Amino acid sequence: MHLRRPHRPRRTALALLAGVLAVTGTVGVGTAVAAPSLPLDGLDEAAASELVPAVTTAAGGALAGIWFEPSSASGPDSTGRLMVGTWDAALAPALSALGATPVVRDEPRRDPSAALRTLTERTATGMPASLAAFGVDERSQQLVVSEVEGAPSSPVAELLGGLDPSAVRIEKVPSAPRLQASIGGGDTITDGSKRCTAGFSATDGSAGWLITAGHCTRGSSTWYAGADQETIGSGARSAGGSTDVGAIPVTGDWTLTPTVSGTTVTGSRSAAVGTSVCLYGSTSGRSCGAVDRKDVTVNFDGQQQSGLTAVATCAKEGDSGGPYITSDGQAQGVHTGAGGTNGCTSYFTPISTALSTLGLSLKTG
């Protein structure tokens, strides 16, 4: 989010654009067979994401994963197919008619959602240091459990006891994820000690609010921006529990603009797994990658955070709160933290969760 300063001495039309003004703040996988269908390689990512609600309804209880499969290198302009897994071959024609490519799974049926619910309950009061994250892989229809390399494996094995082994897959990761507010100065939004990244512009119906990460706003009231460290607002609100979102009230001297790095925010349609989104962080700048998993539970310093989305983007300290957005202006969520190799597995809280938890509406243009 960037600042526009048209006149001095009064700041009557400064633009606070969410996203660029940054704060420094195993088990084997069974086979799946694509059913015969019409050639559907020409869907762009936006069109594929628009199909998701319809194919979800059509597949019903036989749904076994939805993901985008690019026909070439992935990216905001890639085209490909929306793959829809189903346990019922009879549904293939209906899914094809909607524009999707059905994938009939011929292995024994399993329920990764049940494994996800059980593991979420078992880790609700704390997560062992060896357990980095877990979430369902749409493509394999397995609960993927990320275990830190070199850490004792017995705590994770104990947590997985009794779960259907065909529904679970363990993967090794080099390190645990980290929250990414940072301590120090910077020409970004700050509370005087933490740097984070401004997310999206929102409103409560009468006043403007700036959405960012909850671990940034907790314990902080007044926030500043710009080279002159001018006050954005005081009385920041933070979500309760483990939901990592917060919002800063914006004073009348600022004008919230519904843009992210020049892209107008037009809505909040959720991007399908496999499609591209871009993070705009105060430290990393623009970093784009494909959505990997949704409804992921992550271990941040022993605290469980659930309902996050995992993305193949790189992030650094100070990117917390930064916005994720698609190339066609669909807001996705705000950055919480990152892990994996070189911090290139990132996690965000979906914008729908942020808005409902904070009681706000997204500003769109």
Query: How many whole angstroms separate alpha carbon 264 and alpha carbon 365?
Result: 6
Active-site option among 215, 270, 319, 335 = 215
Active-site option among 182, 284, 320, 346 = 320
Query: How many whole angstroms separate alpha carbon 330 and alpha carbon 364?
Result: 10
Catalytic residue list contains 361: no
Sort 310 into a burial class: Cβ within 10 Å, 0-12 / 13-18 / 19+. Answer: buried
Active-site option among 244, 282, 284, 346 = 244
Catalytic residue list contains 215: yes
Catalytic residue list contains 2: no
Q: Which residues contact 311 (CB under 8 A, 6 or more apart)?
A: 277, 279, 289, 290, 291, 292, 324, 345, 346, 347, 348
Residue numbers annotated as active site: 215, 244, 320
